[in-house]
Amino acid sequence: MSLYGFPVLYALFVWWFSTGLIIYLDNLPQRTFRWSMLGGTAVFAVSLYRLYATADDTSVTGAYGAFTYGVLAWGWQEMSFFMGYVTGPRKHACAHGCSGWRHFWHGVETSLYHELAIIASAAAIVALTWGGANQVGTWTFVVLWAMRQSAKLNVFLGVRNLSVEFVPAHLAYLKSFLTCKPMNLLFPVSISVSSVVLVLLLQRAGAAVTPYQAAGMTFLATMLSLAIIEHWFLVLPLPFAELWTWVLKLRGASAPVTQETVAEAQPCAHAETRVYKARAATAHA
């Protein structure tokens, strides 16, 4: 249990709680963003230092620490974007009818600085841990980065569940770059490639010869598994957003959850319901 079970449980908690915390902070009044970013930046700096300090620590504690610092470093990227500090040169929605590569480039412009910041952060983490035996934190950051890029492309190309209720009001223009479809052609590729990598990680975890290796590979496999599950929730008619309903409740009156909010968050599902009802009414007539 301690060899594989505890790392899985720890990774699950960190993933669920950190995601909810970031969603909560990003949806607070904008006057709070300065303080949140100051605190987040301090945590980011400490995480970079600790990744450097634990680069040669191949104990189980070192694996837990590196994983945590990698997640915290990634959290800063998410906060800085959704709070609007590091986004891109484009801060308005696309005009109706904009499509193709022009629309794609407009989408890139909304997060260009954010993507460059991630590249810079990844380069810093690689440099700080270069040559170290403990690479758990570095690979945690890379897994989160790769799967987030995949999710963003899939949401742009079209998925069923867009979960727009989590998009902060000050970034509402991003909704014009979300496409509602049952699925897109990239989705099977994303699932297939990530699943192959997951199998390799599980094999490495099962063949680990030290507790550090078992914990490290388990952390990476768990995070990749969660990312794959998140991808499936993009296309399956399941209430994935309910995992963080506690965040919406904490937001309270400042952002109430109404039927209109739910309908906006799941436009594909509601469109399908309307079509079904229309067909049923026609058949009955």
Ordered mean pLDDT values, 10 residues apiece, the chain (285 residues): 88 91 88 95 98 96 97 96 95 88 94 97 98 97 97 94 83 91 94 97 94 96 96 84 66 44 46 41 42
Q: What is the pLDDT of residue 167?
A: 84
Q: What is the pLDDT of residue 2?
A: 76
Distance in angstroms (rounded) separating the CA atoms of residues 24 and 127: 32
